Structure 1
Amino acid sequence: MKRVAIIGAGWAGCAAALTLARANANASARGEKPTSITVFEAAKTPGGRARRVDKGERSFDNGQHLLLGAYTRSLEMIRSLHGARLHEVIDQRPLALVAAPGNPERISVQAKRLPAPLHLLHAMLTARGLTISDKLSINLWCARTLYGSLDSTAHAKQTVAELIKTQPARAKTWLWEPLCVAALNTPAERASASVFVEVLRRSFLGTAEASDLVIPRVDLSALLPQPALEAVVRLGGEVRLGEPVNKISPGSDGSGKTRIVLRERDEVFDDVIVAVGPQHIDRLLDDCPRWIGAKATLSSFSYEPISTLHYEFLAGLDPESSPMLMLDGEPGQWLFSHRLSNGQVRASVVISAHYREGNADELLADGLAQLKRSFPVTKPLWQQLITEKRATYACTPAQTAKLRAIPKSIGGVHFAGDWCVPELPATLEAAVISGENAARQIIESSHG
């Protein structure tokens, strides 16, 4: 029986495992020999950098993640796992880019349920806080940039700041720069213009639903990783949470198989999907000559942080009408809020692409002061700072070019992770796509 190992149970690894397990079920139904699937994950909770954190009596996400309606592959997998309960796990609503009250420069861009592209044209024409000149400039820029050359290299060396330099100041400050840091987790002055344009094209040139905001109603582990692994087990796969892999090396018998080193033993597999963060790959792969190039490139990468300030309040926020709002960047750029089962409100202030050394209490106090400038909130019942110093790779033109050059499969080792889809930023969608792609490559090779 062919053996496949998936190392890492983040979104990429879980997508790969589920794709293989479902293919196994179809193969068994046709009377074909199934493949043995084993998932290894060092942590006890699946999800990787998009997972649930349990601390005391509370559970919260290690970072706030937003999906777009254009992220079809991840949404299709979520839909397949939750079925009729989909509305219980995600809140999908038309695009709404609204600044929190209290900001004198605030704007509001809200789409209606109209056929594409009328929904976006209506949103821009009715936007508040923008002059007629601003709106005309934005629409002309979109027409020229998004409907222009579809050559993926057209903006390969440009930054987003260079791309939007002719836009009005208000459009840059309250539209393009917030969208850039939200989508790419990289400041506009360093972010890849080609990746930003690709995100805008997928969101704005597709169906009306493509620009929707999709906000999870459940924790990130429950949204996809946990039910995916439960399905893998039901379909005959094995999941080993809390079991780290120490090293990956070529098999010693010349068969082309791959050996993985565990705490107490070694195991040999026909194919291995490496679905860990790129910063861990240099340590995980041994110094086999075939892997040296990929290891060297990935070990040279730079990363961007995300800090999330979580608060709980009795009142003062209205998450039902405004679950996501733009902030002024002092210190957070975005606010996500939702109502807990006990009636309290959980507010999460997101600080993207910026890490501030110092006392956590000071940063939490600054975040609370920012909320008080816009909302009548009082002292929080609970607060927590979570920082991922390497939340995403820096989505710069140079690093995007490097990613395109790295082979995503070397012998029996296949890479999966958000970095494996360089035309997109480091998103949940890129992670799911990469996991499915790695799994399908193994499936296709099995069929000759």
Structure 2
Amino acid sequence: MARVHVVGAGLAGLHAAVILAGRGVPVVLSEATRQAGGRCRSYHDAVLDMVIDNGNHLVLSGNPAVARYLRAIGAQDRLTGPEEAAFPFFDLQRRRRWILRPNDGPVPWWIMSSRRRVPETRVADYLALITLMRPHPGRRIDEVVSCHGVAWERLLRPLLVSILNTIPEEASADLAGAVFRETLARGGRRSWPRIATPSLAAALVDPALDRLRRDGAQIRLGRPLRAVTTERDRLSALLFDDGEQRLGPLDQVILAVPPWTATSLLPDLKVPDDFRAIVNAHFRVAPPAGAPLMVGLIGGTAEWVFAFRDRLSVTVSAADRLLDMDTATLTDILWHDVAVVHDLAAPVPPCRIVKEKRATFAATPAQDARRPAARTRLTNAFLAGDWTDTGLPATIEGALRSGEKAAALAMAESS
């Protein structure tokens, strides 16, 4: 029977492998590193002496591919969050708190309520959301809406930089609109925030590996793919560190690898080539009683503060400006923001700074245009990853959808 080789065990590769193995397709999952998960990984940190995630990844209740993936791996209970669309914010300069509370239904009456919308904003300020939801092919956000005013600084800019991991003014209006159309436009019920619990690995990775083992898939970690061999319009062999894998006439390959790896294997492939960083900080200190799961910060360096059972964590998106900053200085700056928002007088606790230099592709119109389709010029080779043409920014939802698409193509070709 034909096999499908899935190369790369990030979420895109895991989802593709889970779908295929669940339908009885023989799957060989190969991962270059010793740990599955890609950018959604967890590990024991020696400095903090605790398990931490490489980053703080948020999904929303209205992400359908996330829901399908969790059902497939039996992990529906591994995401936690409030049973409402509630987003607490704190303005560090004004020392002012508020909670953005979109109503559950699709008619957005919440913008009429001063207790639900951003303070000092008017109903007319939210027309920018409606504008962004319309198609704007090839246009930047600053060409579509005004990037000034209270609503921009206290709501749209903080949301957009975290969604797109790109300075919003230069980012793609279409990518921003795609997210809003699938969440807020369908009502607050589609926007309930959800966090992996107790860790990314426990929620999104380990259950998938367990599912694959039960379904008979071969899982080979620490197995880098160095090159491929082609014959006419097909891949004929995969050259791994542990030897050559010849492909049968019906075997299929899903390359769920980073874009720079994909183009090293298939040099004629056009892929995103400009990337943005994300910086996370994990502080070993228990959050104060009653601390919200997450708080958006306005006017600081930290952008979101997450309260886990045993630590407080910070995320800064589009963080290239912080990459070369001295670790001790960056730690002090981020802890100051955390201490203010949670009213903490303690000295700086033990901290781990995690810098993902190429966390996502830059979500600009130019880079969006470089995203390839799942199907390649080779009849038995398909691409998966949040950097492929999913119609979404580089998100968990986008990665999982790409895995679904690649799996569907591989099944169709091998049948």
TM-score (norm 1): 0.84
Q: Following the alignment from structure 2 to structure 1, what is the Cα–Cα distance between the partners of residues 327 and 355?
A: 10
Spell out the pairing of 1:386-425 with structure 2 (5 A cutoff): 386-403=354-371, 407-408=375-376, 410-425=378-393
Paired AA for residue 266 in structure 1:
E
User: What is the aligned partner in structure 2 of residue 228 from structure 1?
Assistant: 208
| 1:246 counterpart residue number | 226
| Partner secondary structure for residue 353 of structure 2 | strand
**2: CA distance, partners of 1:117 / 1:80:** 32
Residues 331 and 262 (structure 1 numbering): CA distance in 2 closer, same or farther, change over 3 Å? same
Specify the SS of the correspondent of 2:170.
Answer: coil
Assess, with a 3 A threshold, how the Cα gap between structure 1 residues 278 and 256 changes in structure 2: closer, same or farther: closer
Alignment of 1:185-264 (within 5 A): 185-250=165-230, 256-264=234-242
Write the distance in 1 (CA, Å) between the matches of 2:45 and 2:355.
Answer: 15
Classify 1:239/1:92 alpha carbon distance in 2 versus 1 (closer, same or farther; 3 Å): farther
- RMSD across aligned positions (CA): 2.4
What amino acid does structure 1 have at the position aligned with 2:292? Answer: S
Q: Residues of 2 paired with 1:390 and 1:268: CA distance?
A: 32
Specify the SS of the correspondent of 1:99.
Answer: strand
- Distance change (3 Å), C-alpha of 1:128 and 1:199: closer
**Correspondence for 2:44:** 54
1:277 has 2:258 as partner: yes
Equivalent of residue 245 in structure 2, options 255, 263, 267? 267
Q: Match of 2:23?
A: 23
Distance apart, 1:101 and its partner CA: 6.2
Identify which range, 256-265 or 432-441, moves more after superposition: 256-265
Cross-structure match for 1:293: 268
Q: Which runs of 4+ in 1 moved over 6 A?
A: none
1:189 Cα shift?
A: 1.8
Q: Which residue of 2 aligns with 1:437?
A: 405
Q: Distance in 2 between matches of 1:212 and 1:429?
A: 14
Given the superposition, is the C-alpha separation of residues 155 and 234 from structure 1 closer, same or farther in structure 2, using an over 3 Å criterion? Answer: same
Pairs within 5 Å for 1:53-202? 53-56=43-46, 57-82=49-74, 86-100=76-90, 102-104=92-94, 106=96, 108-111=98-101, 114-118=104-108, 120-121=110-111, 125-127=114-116, 129-131=118-120, 134-146=121-133, 149=134, 154-165=135-146, 169-202=149-182
CA-CA distance at 1:155 after TM superposition: 1.3
SS at match of 1:115: coil
**Residue 403 of structure 1: SS of its match in structure 2?**
coil
C-alpha contact (below 8 Å) 1:408/1:420 kept by paired residues: no
Task: Structure 1: state its 5+ residue gaps.
Answer: 25-34, 286-290, 341-345
Matched, 1:337 2:324: no
CA distance in 1, matches of 2:199, 2:312: 14
* Mapped partners of 1:398, 1:410: distance in 2: 25
More helix by share: 1
**Secondary structure in structure 1 of the residue aligned to 2:181:** helix
> Do residues 325 (structure 1) and 325 (structure 2) align?
no
Supply the distance in 1 between the matched residues of 2:54 and 2:239 (Cα, whole angstroms).
29
Cα shift readout 1:312-371 (whole Å, capped 9, x = no counterpart): 2245x34x551111113532111111113xxxxx11111110222131111111111222
State which of 30, 48, 57 in structure 2 corresponds to 1:40: 30
CA separation of 1:114 and 1:62: change in aligned 2, threshold 3 A: closer
Distance 1:121 1:36, change over 3 A: same
Structure 1: distance between partners of 2:181 and 2:117 = 23
After superposing the two structures, state which structure 1 stretch, 257-266 or 271-280, moved more. 257-266
Which runs of 5 or more residues in structure 2 are unaligned? none
Q: What's the CA shift for 1:8?
A: 0.6
What are the equivalent positions in structure 2 for 1:356-367 lying under 5 Å apart? 356=322, 357-367=324-334
Output the amino acid matched with 1:70. G
TM-score (norm 2): 0.90
| Pairwise CA distance, 1:16 | 0.5
Residues in 1 aligned to 2:408 and 2:6: alpha-carbon distance in whole angstroms:
13
Aligned AA (2:413): S
Aligned pairs, number: 407
Q: Assess if the C-alpha contact under 8 Å between 1:160 and 1:190 holds in 2.
A: yes
Aligned ranges for residues 304-315 of structure 1 at < 5 Å?
304-314=276-286
Quickly say closer, same or farther: Cα 1:206–1:237, change in 2 above 3 A: same
Q: 2: distance between equivalents of 1:367 and 1:141?
A: 31
Structure 1 pair 66/76, CA: closer, same or farther in 2 (3 Å)? same
- Confirm or deny: 8 A CA contact 2:233 2:379 kept in the other structure: no
> Are 2:14 and 1:14 aligned?
yes
Shift of 1:422: 4.0
With over 3 angstroms needed to count, the CA separation of the structure-2 counterparts of 1:36 and 1:80, relative to structure 1, is closer
